[in-house]
Amino acid sequence: MARDIAMPSFDLTGKTIIVTGGTKGLGHGIAATLAHYGANVVITARTVKDCETVAAELNEKYVRGNNRVIGVPADSSKQADIDNVIAKTIENFGELNILVNNAGISGKTAKILTDECDEENFDKVIAVNLKGVFLFAKAAAKQMVTQGKGGKIINIASVGGLVGGPGVVAYGASKAGVISLTKTMGNEFGREGINVIAVCPGYVVTPLNEDIFLNEDGTPTKIYELSAKNTAVRRLGEIEEIAGPVCALCSDCFSYMTGTYIVIDGGQTIGR
């Protein structure tokens, strides 16, 4: 006789999650969504002011009950800052269950053979987008192994890591590296009960790029319309359409997925 099927739960109550780069854009939306669904959330940003302001905002708007969001300033490319975030997380919430590696920069838009595409820009993008993901994931995994309860690491990559585009060599290389890191970490961390998954968003409208995609009256710009033509659904994504899947991945429903990536791009990479 077939056993009863356990019904999935997306409740994150009691889970403690670090969201790097959690004060702006996509990271802000992810942090808000995770807090709304019950998680204790630690957000990072480079400045104390951003951390304090956004933590207070999220606690007021999205948290059900006591304050469950704190902000810790950190540069994701610096080990000392990362160690401090882990320590503050344990100090405030007792353990770390999930890391969402979201912090990243785009760098200059310049083709490889131009002077603007220089070593300084390349190194800066790689340091934050790839080295930072590596360092934070390693530190988080060590903490999870110490706790002995497993955990999850969600790395925010990009469709830019799957397809080559002109002018974004450093960004594309860094995101391709994140996808590769995800596969290796999934392989190595699996026996410790730690799942590692990458998320590859396509075009998404955020407060950081609204001036490019939207006119002052909220109507689409020509750049928006051209970008939308590169998707199957003929529009760009919204923050909620990435934050929702990330929230689901953080739940127990995805305990059998690791070392791989999911693409959320409105059909940008399947051909139009």
- Just list the catalytic residues: 171
Distance in angstroms (rounded) separating the CA atoms of residues 132 and 84: 14
Distance CA 72, CA 18 (A): 10
- Distance between CA 23 and CA 174 in Å, rounded? 21
Contacts for 140 with CB less than 8 Å, ≥ 6 apart? 18, 86, 96, 99, 151, 153
Dist. CA 97–CA 14, nearest whole Å: 9
Give which of 250, 184, 237 is closest to 13, Cα–Cα.
250
Residue 220: DSSP 8-state: B
CA distances to 70, 119, 141, 206 from 31, rounded to whole Å, are 11, 33, 20, 14
Q: Describe the crossing of helices 132-147 and 79-93 by its angle, rounded to 10 degrees.
A: 40
How open is the CA angle 188-192-197, to the nearest 5 degrees? Answer: 60
CA Rg, the chain, in Å? 19
